[in-house]
Amino acid sequence: MKVYQLDDDYAKLRKKTWPKAFKLALILVGMMWVIYFLDFIFPFVDFYRFGIYPRDINGLIGIITAFFLHGSMSHLISNTLPILLAITALFGNYPTTAKKVLVFSILLTGLMVWSFARSANHIGASGVLYSLLAYIFFSGFIKKDMQSIGISIVIAFLYGSLIFGVIPSDKGVSWESHLFGFIVGIFLAWLYKEKDKPIYKSWEDDDGDVEY
Asked whether the beta carbons of 165 and 173 are under 8 A apart, the reply is yes
139-176 per-residue burial string, b: 16 or more CB within 10 A, e: under 16: bbebbebebbbebbeebeeebeebeebbeeeeeeebbb
Report if residue 18 sits inside a domain: yes
pLDDT of 145 reads 82
Cα dihedral across residues 111, 117, 121, 124: positive or negative: negative
Query: So what's the pLDDT on residue 212?
Result: 40
Please give the pLDDT value at position 164: 63
In a domain, 160, yes or no: yes
Please report, as a single letter, which amino acid is at residue 137.
Answer: F
Whether residue 126 lies inside any domain: the answer is yes
In a domain, 135, yes or no: yes
181 located within any domain: yes
In a domain, 100, yes or no: yes
On the CB side of 117, CA atoms within 13 Å amount to 33
Please check whether residue 1 lies inside any domain of the structure: no
Q: What is the dihedral of CA 39, 40, 41, 44, to 10 degrees?
A: 60
CB distance 164 to 173 below 8 Å: no
Over the chain (212 residues), the average pLDDT of each successive run of 10 is 64 84 97 94 90 96 96 91 92 94 98 95 93 90 82 70 68 86 95 86 54 40
Instruction: Establish if 212 belongs to a structural domain.
Output: no
Longest dimension (CA), the chain: 72
Q: What pLDDT score does 160 carry?
A: 61
**CB neighbour list of residue 83: distance below 8 Å, 6 or more residues apart:** 25, 28, 29, 32, 125, 128, 129, 132
The pLDDT score that the predictor gives to residue 4 is: 59
Amino acid 207: pLDDT: 53
Q: Would you say 130 and 185 are in contact if contact means Cβ atoms under 8 Å apart?
A: yes
What's the CATH code of the domain at 52?
A: 1.20.1540.10
Q: What is the pLDDT of residue 78?
A: 86
In the prediction, which pLDDT does 31 show? 97
Predicted local confidence at residue 210, as pLDDT: 41
For the chain, how many structural domains are there in total? 1
126, exposed or middle or buried, with CB in 10 Å at 0-12, 13-18, 19+?
buried
- pTM score, two decimals? 0.88
Q: What residue numbers bound the domain in which 89 lies?
A: 8-207
